[in-house]
Structure 1
Amino acid sequence: MTNLKKRERAKTNASLISMVQRFSDITIMFAGLWLVCEVSGLSFLYMQLLVALITLVVFQMLGGITDFYRSWRGVRAATEFALLLQNWTLSVIFSAGLVAFNNDFDTQLKIWLAWYGLTSIGLVVCRSCIRIGAGWLRNHGYNKRMVAVAGDLAAGQMLMESFRNQPWLGFEVVGVYHDPKPGGVSNDWAGNLQQLVEDAKAGKIHNVYIAMQMCDGARVKKLVHQLADTTCSVLLIPDVFTFNILHSRLEEMNGVPVVPLYDTPLSGG
């Protein structure tokens, strides 16, 4: 019961941040157009309000398509800002093209450019403040997530070190779990895979990152099956070295992900 409460609390925290992001985006868009109209000596009437509403609807629609209002925890700020500006740019272009067919909208190009530039700055600044605020809370122990790495791949070690070097993300590393090897274990070793399952069932771990080689497919499948009875999130770190050998290109055929092993330069689809 305690594990379920922790899972629900994590979802509530993510929903709260998403709600703050949505309200901040809406406020900045309307405030940006109002401020541009005030500086330009224009009245902020129902026409301007309708333009802002159309742009907002398009922006929210793109946000749903691109899964923009999700948890950006552990994702680089540059990635979030790039998608933010991409959605905002497309929203302005679509709205400007839509109202251009109506003679009632006599909006000058400089108004559109000023609104776009001012709102772009406001959106980035506000998202930065949200990230800083959430990071400060997590750095002080709020909404901590206990994470563990299953396997001894180098990618898992790098991910673990990145979590330790960025405490504001709110990820606290429990350790690395894998079966002991003849050469000994590292200082980060927290137990074997069976110990990982027991700790996950006890609610000591929230996220499990599986970093095992492709030849250990049977063990990965068994571990995933055992962790299915827990409330922790299970994520797979692919064997990047092996994927590089396989040309590191992932394709999709009728909804099924496939990795091409050999391809001919004459294949044109």
Structure 2
Amino acid sequence: MSEPRYVKDSANAYSALYRCIDFLIIQTSLFLILSLREEAYIHTYLVVGLIASIGFLFAAESYQLYRCWRLGEFSRIASYTFLCWVAGVFCVVIFLFFSKTSLDISRLIVGLWIVFNSIALAGWRFLLYLFLYKRRQAGFYTRKVAIFGLTQSGVLLAEQFINKPETGYILTGFYDDRADTRSPTKYKEHLLGGINQGIELAKAGGIEVIYIALPLAAQKRIEGVLRSLGDTTIDVFIVPDFFTFNLLNARLSHLGAIQTISVYESPMTGPSRLLKRLEDILGSLVILTIIALPMLLIALLIKIDSRGPVLFKQLRYGLDGRAIQVWKFRSMHSMENGKVVNQAVRNDVRITKLGAILRQTSLDELPQFINVLFGSMSLVGPRPHAVAHNEEYRKLVDYYMLRHKVKPGITGWAQINGWRGETDTLVKMQKRVEFDLEYIRNWSISFDLKIICLTIVRGFRDKNAY
């Protein structure tokens, strides 16, 4: 029996060269700034430059910055580059703090160097991206691609090729023996024949790359296709049809000699988890400093407006479905926190006069910044629901509980897109979950900042909140 072979990550053929370019930019920029400022290149600067380079390159490996980005968007490349540089700068700060050498170097020079590299490291990638974009649009560096299998995953792949000509992939068409029995009807005009016809065309040199998008149930057929294509020099890729499901943070991993693919996994692991927590701590501290006095005023008004406690602590599901206490300013006369919780509706008699204003402006949520600081919530994430609602909807909405693979947030992608407030129909909850899962799949620090900015710009008032 042959030994299992690992599937290698998608590495760029020029990744070694790219690493050298990044290293040279970080080192050379520091030397040039020192020369322009007429400062001596002392030993501390040399150490700082090397630490920043090593920190950047280690973070780049973690984020797979040097993988093949042929189908990637530049905004994503730039955000990953910036995060890696932040990691490098963080290593420098730690070194300067513990070595007590920060007074030996110019803070102005280090500041200029940090800003310059933030631009330079992303800048040269943008120039390369622009060059390849123009060349591929002009017909250079292009490759003829065929897809075996007119399936849903095959259609999704075809849309990438058609909508992004800058990738250089030119779709010649689909080949499928059972196209009439498969569900997707889109792109059937691109169906050029059966799979055997596609194989013959590949052997004749009419195709350069083949993507096999047949269902996993057709294992024997896939094996036969691979054997036939083994007689060619064609590049062949397999597109598993389970990638059309709600995968979260899908990636390869190893368990001994066995390779696995994660299906449901949180993106908040390793450095990402640390960055997310750092974002929450800094953000909540800044916001709590700003809103401390308004919160005291609201607390006083609540005591004047109606009898009862200032804060309402409701049990909700947090990370991994564990129960947490979410803090809110009390906005109702009653405080339901049991197995049955009735959602607020328009003109709800339980809501106090002040509570109506607090709920419409989302001011009742302000104490949740304390939850964020203590670590049970995040600034951005799926909004937490009452435990009773979780137990109800997990039986009705597919993939509902996957929204708990990350910490719940004060604001979220679903709320920004209008899916907040009462969920009086199943469709409303389905749409909310859909946007929550989209957020988890596409999470990044830049995505969080976008949601925070949109929350501020669009305001806190919402017609669906009452």
Is TM-score (shorter-chain normalized) higher than 0.5? yes
Cα distance in 2 for residues equivalent to 1:222 and 1:197: 11
1:211 — aligned with what? 213
2:50 — aligned with what? 53
CA deviations 1:121-176 (Å, max 9, x no partner) are 22222211110101112222222111111101133223223312322211111111
Mean Cα displacement is larger for which, 112-121 or 189-198? 112-121
Cα distance in 2 for residues equivalent to 1:173 and 1:181: 17
Q: CA deviation at 1:180?
A: 5.1
- Within a 5 Å distance, the mapping from 1:171-182 to structure 2 comes to 171-179=169-177, 181=179
- Within a 5 Å distance, the mapping from 1:3-22 to structure 2 comes to 15-16=13-14, 18=15, 21-22=18-19
Cα distance in 2 for residues equivalent to 1:125 and 1:47: 27
Cα distance in 1 for residues equivalent to 2:243 and 2:61: 34
SS of the aligned residue for 1:234 comes to strand
For 1:92, which of 89, 93, 101 is the aligned residue? Answer: 89
For 1:138, which of 132, 136, 139 is the aligned residue? Answer: 136
User: Contact 2:51/2:91 (CA < 8 Å) preserved in 1?
Assistant: no
Could you tell me which runs of 5 or more consecutive residues in structure 2 were left unpaired when the two chains were aligned: 1-11, 265-319, 323-466
Mean Cα displacement is larger for which, 100-109 or 218-227? 100-109
User: Contact 1:24/1:126 (CA < 8 Å) preserved in 2?
Assistant: no
Relative to structure 1, the CA distance from residue 145 to residue 62 in structure 2 (aligned partners, 3 Å threshold; closer, same or farther) is: same
Q: CA deviation at 1:211?
A: 1.9
Cα distance in 2 for residues equivalent to 1:190 and 1:114: 57
CA deviations 1:105-133 (Å, max 9, x no partner) are 62355544442222112222221111010
CA deviations 1:67-118 (Å, max 9, x no partner) are 4323211122233223222222212212332354435562355544442222
Cα distance in 2 for residues equivalent to 1:258 and 1:73: 22
User: Contact 1:250/1:257 (CA < 8 Å) preserved in 2?
Assistant: no
Q: Which structure is higher in helix share?
A: 1
Cα distance in 1 for residues equivalent to 2:64 and 2:244: 29
Mean Cα displacement is larger for which, 56-65 or 129-138? 56-65
Rg bigger for which structure?
2
Higher RCO, 1 vs 2 (CA within 8 Å, ≥6 residues apart): 1
User: Contact 1:21/1:127 (CA < 8 Å) preserved in 2?
Assistant: no
Cα distance in 1 for residues equivalent to 2:131 and 2:60: 22
1:127 and 2:130 are equivalent in the alignment:
no
SS of the aligned residue for 1:187 comes to helix
Cα distance in 2 for residues equivalent to 1:65 and 1:250: 15
Cα distance in 2 for residues equivalent to 1:144 and 1:181: 27
CA deviations 1:27-71 (Å, max 9, x no partner) are 432344345546766334443233223322333344445443232
User: Contact 1:149/1:210 (CA < 8 Å) preserved in 2?
Assistant: yes
Relative to structure 1, the CA distance from residue 93 to residue 155 in structure 2 (aligned partners, 3 Å threshold; closer, same or farther) is: same
Cα distance in 2 for residues equivalent to 1:230 and 1:265: 50
Cα distance in 1 for residues equivalent to 2:179 and 2:57: 51
Relative to structure 1, the CA distance from residue 228 to residue 76 in structure 2 (aligned partners, 3 Å threshold; closer, same or farther) is: farther
Count how many residue pairs are aligned between Structure 1 and Structure 2.
248
- Within a 5 Å distance, the mapping from 1:79-118 to structure 2 comes to 79-103=76-100, 106-107=104-105, 111-118=109-116
2:159 — aligned with what? 161
Across the aligned residues of Structure 1 and Structure 2, the Cα RMSD in angstroms comes to 3.5
Quick one: which amino acid aligns to residue 87 of structure 1? C
For 1:238, which of 230, 240, 253 is the aligned residue? Answer: 240
Q: CA deviation at 1:242?
A: 6.6
Cα distance in 1 for residues equivalent to 2:61 and 2:180: 50
1:152 — aligned with what? 150
Relative to structure 1, the CA distance from residue 66 to residue 241 in structure 2 (aligned partners, 3 Å threshold; closer, same or farther) is: closer
TM-score, normalisation: structure 1: 0.74
Quick one: which amino acid aligns to residue 54 of structure 2? V
Q: State, as a whole percentage, how many aligned pairs show the same letter.
A: 26
TM-score, normalisation: structure 2: 0.46
- Within a 5 Å distance, the mapping from 1:30-69 to structure 2 comes to 30-34=27-31, 36-37=33-34, 42-64=39-61, 66-69=63-66
Quick one: which amino acid aligns to residue 199 of structure 2? V
User: Contact 1:37/1:43 (CA < 8 Å) preserved in 2?
Assistant: yes
Cα distance in 2 for residues equivalent to 1:253 and 1:139: 39
User: Contact 2:146/2:211 (CA < 8 Å) preserved in 1?
Assistant: yes
Mean Cα displacement is larger for which, 74-83 or 169-178? 74-83
